[in-house]
Amino acid sequence: MSALLVACVLVPLATSLGTALLGTRPRAQRALSLAGVAAFFACAVALLVHVGRAGTLRSTMGGWPAPFGIELVADPLGAGMVVITALMGAAVLVFQLADADPAPDHPTLLPMTHAMLAAVTGAFLTGDLFNVYVWFELMLVSSLGLLVYQAGVRHLEATLKYFVLNAIGTLLLLAGVAYLYAATGHLGFGALAAAARDAEAGSLTPFVVVVALAFLVKAGAFPLFAWLPASYPTLPAPLLALFAGLLTKVGVYALLRLFGGVFPMTSAFVFEALAWIAAATMLFGVLGAAYHWDMRRILAYHIVSQIGYMLLGVALASERGQLGTIFYVVHHIVVKANLFLIVALIARHTGSYDLRRSGGLFTARPALAALFAVPALSLVGVPPLSGFWAKLLVVQETLAQGRWALAGVALLVGALTLYSMAKIWMGAFWKPHPDDDWTPPTDTRLGPAWLAAGVLALVTLFIGLSPEPLLRFAAFAAEELPAALPEGLTR
């Protein structure tokens, strides 16, 4: 079974290498890409099934004993996140086959995409803090390549903004890793958890805070979130959906792992500060979304806003709060990626991402209106869709702890999210198109786009109408989150 754990990382890496070698043969490259993501999804599902039946799976590389070897660990949370990663990879690669704002063909496009999937998977499965840094670096390199490969001025500008602020996060993470290693002599999660229990109260808190700040930058939290809405909207639709669905959630996952499993006894002041960072992230993100008219920018700011809810769940420092964060992360990955895919379909029909140049789709394309309504209403939190349950879990725990002001911010942001989604609905669907001669294009190749967006909408509906499976999974994952000592390690 350890081979299955390693395969979840090696399959996307091997696909990246194979598609790079086929760069001069586009058809063969696309075929290998689709086969590779299908194999990746199969490995991810098999891993989740095994972890659900047999418990956490560990594999130490190079023959070194724990805690000295590089360790891969698949617990329920990590295995579940790998399945979602594979699903997002499959959805965007299928969408890429349509003509709804696809990424321009280039020999490096698919290799970098699969390298990003491998990096995200590695970050979810690593059991070692230094290797979190390593996988974050691979994510940064592949994402920079995908941002810059079109070589336009706006792409280069977006890449520079993305790189500068993410480089700050990278340097903070490396510094935090160095400090923790100097203080404890370990970097494995289990060994760090044991060292934290043995350390004097508060002695490791400054180093944990440095690492947490790095993850906050990667997650797009307040105040260092400007790189996200400045860079993401320059991407073509499939890549934008992939970035939006996965990259910031890796930062949230790392914070959840850090505070929920490795250092759960961190100072209460740190959790209090994180709670108010979460509130500011929610509020500033939703206000930015309300200001803009470009659908991509509206949704990009909503990534920031929704990250705030996830951080609030972490900051509550309880198993119920962690359950809410896990549910929220899974819901949001699916919904946010799908919204970016659907607005690409809207732009393909209306000719623009700008709501002031759109309109008329409710009568011309009612099926598209229905498709948009599912993730849009879920993002708002309208029952019984998945976003309702996600927000309910976080807000309930906030109220249970007597955090009335934080709960009020969360509810206010939900109302403002409704305003933004109504703005897209009115601009793209309800009002007439500003061009009297406009008619929806007929010479389109949109079947793969409808397939990808439709499957994700069905996932959202399933989670909303039948939340019990995901609730049980999130509860199990939260219960198993505290880092267990690797076998053979003594305190």
Provide mean pLDDT across the span 84-91: 97
Bigger pLDDT: 385 or 149?
385
Confidence of residue 484 (pLDDT cuts 50, 70, 90): very low
Bigger pLDDT: 347 or 198?
347
Confidence of residue 201 (pLDDT cuts 50, 70, 90): low
- Whether the pLDDT of residue 396 is over 80: the answer is yes
Confidence of residue 87 (pLDDT cuts 50, 70, 90): very high
pLDDT in tens, 115-153: 999 999 999 999 889 999 999 999 999 999 999 887 778
Pairing of strands 57-60, 71-74: antiparallel
pLDDT in tens, 236-288: 999 999 999 999 999 999 999 999 888 887 888 999 999 999 999 999 999 99
- What pLDDT was estimated at residue 122? 96
Sign for the pseudo-dihedral over CA of 189, 193, 199, 204: positive
CA–CA dist 187, 299 (Å, integer): 37
CA–CA dist 108, 90 (Å, integer): 18
Confidence of residue 82 (pLDDT cuts 50, 70, 90): very high
Residue of 320, 311, 204, 183 whose CA lies nearest to 262 = 204
How far, in Å, are 144, 216, 248, 441 from residue 306 at the CA level? Answer: 24, 13, 10, 34
Confidence of residue 159 (pLDDT cuts 50, 70, 90): confident
Strands (E), 395-469: none
- Whether the pLDDT of residue 27 is over 70: the answer is yes
Which residues share a beta bridge with 126? 72
Report the chain's mean pLDDT, rounded to a whole number: 92
Q: How far apart are the first and last CA of the chain?
A: 28
Strands (E), 146-201: none
- Whether the pLDDT of residue 68 is over 80: the answer is no
DSSP assigned state of 472: H
Residue of 84, 43, 32 whose CA lies nearest to 337 = 84
- What pLDDT was estimated at residue 157? 86
- What pLDDT was estimated at residue 490? 36
Sign for the pseudo-dihedral over CA of 460, 464, 465, 471: positive
pLDDT in tens, 287-340: 999 999 999 999 999 999 999 999 999 999 999 999 999 999 999 999 999 999
Q: Which amino acid is at 377?
A: L
Q: Which amino acid is at 212?
A: A
- What pLDDT was estimated at residue 265? 79
- What pLDDT was estimated at residue 372? 97
104 touches 236 (CB < 8 A): yes
Residue 467 phi/psi, 5-degree rounding, is: -75, -10
Q: What is the pTM of this model?
A: 0.94
486 touches 191 (CB < 8 A): yes
